[in-house]
Structure 1
């Protein structure tokens, strides 16, 4: 464990390492060639490895994977600082997330009181709503890059929070698209799967995590059969 001075020094040294990799003289040609877009694959992989470490790994695994995700944050920030136009750096990223965290916890850093977890969620949601007041739909801000199961449950949770009526996706789409849509076996299968995901959500089940567990179980069985 490090004290505050040690933490600051470690972050600075990591930032310096990344700057050295990006340096025009003596740096790493591969790193200099990267962009935010080209690094997306690695960011997704590192986040997936962190999820695995959290769910089935050891403390050492979590420590390592958290470091890999942090490295991605530092690298993206360094690339942004070198860009022309609206550049930002690691200090800006850290400052923004610090201020946002304070704003969204008024029961800790402000004058609000929270009697229970429901109150905490209410205050957090209200603070976020103020920040995102320019949004025109309850479903804005749900990343399209989320895995399909996670995105389905996120959209459904937004619907419930907004008090909107459930969407009969199958009937609505079929009415809009006509009989030709009936031949789309893949879409029909997807609608059936979506109904199962909605059932999981009502039962408080994280569909994405449940599927990951089932896949890990199957992988274990397949590997056992190999031996």
Structure 2
């Protein structure tokens, strides 16, 4: 029989054992006090730090470290669920995720063959309906978008979902002569478009500040109005 020291190295398993030792009784007092609710802000923070490392093109060692912090949060939540008898642990999370990924990618793991991005988007929605036991076409394009998402991220998600559902056409707005950003948007000008849009958004935030308007709230309300109009039009 092999001893633990002789067992093949498995970094993920070793990390899981470390986190479980911290979370379970007899481990770390701080870890013992944590819950899913108390940890949510850390998950947000660690995710933001990873994104920051990617966008700032930091050295690979720093990006790897930040991604490790995100992984730690996943293992932490799984260990809490196991400790508190919530009915799942890391193994069951991984198993259900693996099954979902395989089921939702029949063009890779099944016999569907190659599919275009548009076909994949449509197939993804159909597979989600099947998994939920819903009738085809019964899901709203905006189902599953968390209301608690940051306003700008939620706006981008809503616009993308409505575009994929054919309820709005952002490209038409880009080509409009009334759109002051149209001049900087083109297939070979993505970086210029990013600069132009960023500057325009900053100008709007500055304008909101001068007017005493909360730009976050203004955007949330605008997104709600857009969704209401688009979904009503699609009825």
Normalising by structure 1, we get a TM-score of 0.65
Report the counterpart of residue 145 of structure 1 in structure 2: 148
Report the counterpart of residue 71 of structure 1 in structure 2: 72
Q: 1:116 to 1:87 in 2, by over 3 A?
A: same
User: How far is 1:50 from its partner?
Assistant: 0.8
Say which is worse superposed, 35-44 or 97-106, in terms of deviation: 97-106
Q: 1:49 to 1:71 in 2, by over 3 A?
A: same
Report the counterpart of residue 38 of structure 1 in structure 2: 38
User: How far is 1:145 from its partner?
Assistant: 2.5
Report the counterpart of residue 160 of structure 2 in structure 1: 157
User: How far is 1:123 from its partner?
Assistant: 2.9
CA contact under 8 A between 2:47 and 2:70: conserved in structure 1?
Answer: yes
CA contact under 8 A between 1:106 and 1:123: conserved in structure 2?
Answer: no
Report the counterpart of residue 16 of structure 1 in structure 2: 17
The count of corresponding residues between Structure 1 and Structure 2 is 172
CA contact under 8 A between 1:114 and 1:120: conserved in structure 2?
Answer: no
Partners of 1:191 and 1:43 in 2: CA distance: 24
CA contact under 8 A between 1:53 and 1:65: conserved in structure 2?
Answer: yes
User: How far is 1:100 from its partner?
Assistant: 0.9
User: How far is 1:133 from its partner?
Assistant: 4.8
Q: 1:113 to 1:80 in 2, by over 3 A?
A: same
User: How far is 1:16 from its partner?
Assistant: 0.8
Task: Please provide the CA RMSD for this pair.
Answer: 3.1
Which segments of 5 or more consecutive residues in structure 1 lack a partner in the other structure? 167-183, 199-227
The CA deviation string for residues 127-160 of structure 1, in whole angstroms up to 9 with x for no partner, is 2332245575332210123211110121122223
Report the counterpart of residue 125 of structure 2 in structure 1: 125
Report the counterpart of residue 84 of structure 2 in structure 1: 83
Say which is worse superposed, 51-60 or 109-118, in terms of deviation: 109-118
Partners of 1:108 and 1:77 in 2: CA distance: 29
The CA deviation string for residues 78-125 of structure 1, in whole angstroms up to 9 with x for no partner, is 1001123x4210001111111111111101101102243333333333
Which segments of 5 or more consecutive residues in structure 2 lack a partner in the other structure? 1-7, 170-211, 227-235
Matched, 1:190 2:223: no
